[in-house]
Amino acid sequence: MDEGECLINIPSDRGYLSGDLCLPAKPDGMVIFAHGSGSSRKSSRNRWVAAALRSVGFGTLLFDLLTPGEEAVDRVTAEFRFNIELLTRRLLSATDWVRTHPDYCKLPIGFYGASTGAAAALCAASQRSDTVRAVVSRGGRPDLALRCLPAVRCPTMLIVGSKDTDVIPLNNLALERLNTAKELVIVAGASHLFEEPGKLDEVRSLAASWFLKYLTAASNRC
């Protein structure tokens, strides 16, 4: 666990979900992470991005979208990781927990989603248009949220690697369906996981700029 993090338990439809919450002294907003298929709140890539967001003034919440029992089943069957409806409900549970907590309830909220978590983030944003102020998708599968995209009202950035040739057209399709401030950024030389040197740093910079533009502005209006 990183310095300053605290372990929390978020009530959900099937028990509690573990989360790591970390806040700077005077946060301008809260970014909730939705990890990708087969991952967890311990995703090294998401934690690397979260650290960058905290350095520019945002609180971060990384949590497990699945219960321990579901994770054990999913490792064998993969039956939950593409259940976007379930993942969306879990992200909504985390969002509502933040909104009802007296210490965090006034913070503008953003979502950062990866892979299938990006689809959940977009679906959840469509259902909380009065709460969620910005979304960033990294290597996402927004095509799994096509029915939700016209209802997304918050500014949305889609980040894809240029080597992720199967996912680029899916993000282009999603971009066409979004009726809000939007941007598709293709990171040159990056694959799906952005494992190449310096490519995840580009993601960190893009995400931080997007949230600074939209979450900080929302915070200043509060």
Angle made by CA atoms 133, 138, 139, in degrees to the nearest 5:
145
pLDDT at 220: 59
Per residue in 35-60, pLDDT tens?
988 888 999 999 999 999 999 999 99
- Note the pLDDT of residue 31: 98
Could you tell me if 13 and 32 are in contact, meaning their C-beta atoms sit under 8 angstroms apart? no
Q: What percent of the chain has pLDDT over 70?
A: 96
Decide which of 13 and 208 is more confident: 208
Tell me which residue of 135, 136, 131 sits closest to 106, measured CA to CA: 131
Average model confidence (pLDDT) across the chain: 93
Domains and CATH numbers, the chain: 6-221 (3.40.50.1820)
At 5-38, the pLDDT tens digits run 899 999 988 889 999 999 998 899 999 999 988 8
Do the Cβ atoms of 13 and 91 come closer than 8 Å? no
- Taking the CB of residue 55, how many other CB atoms lie within 10 A of it? 11
Q: What is the pLDDT of residue 39?
A: 86
pLDDT band at 189 (very low <50, low <70, confident <90, very high): very high
- Summarize pLDDT for 64-118 with one digit per residue, the tens: 999 999 999 999 998 898 999 999 999 999 999 999 999 898 999 999 999 999 9
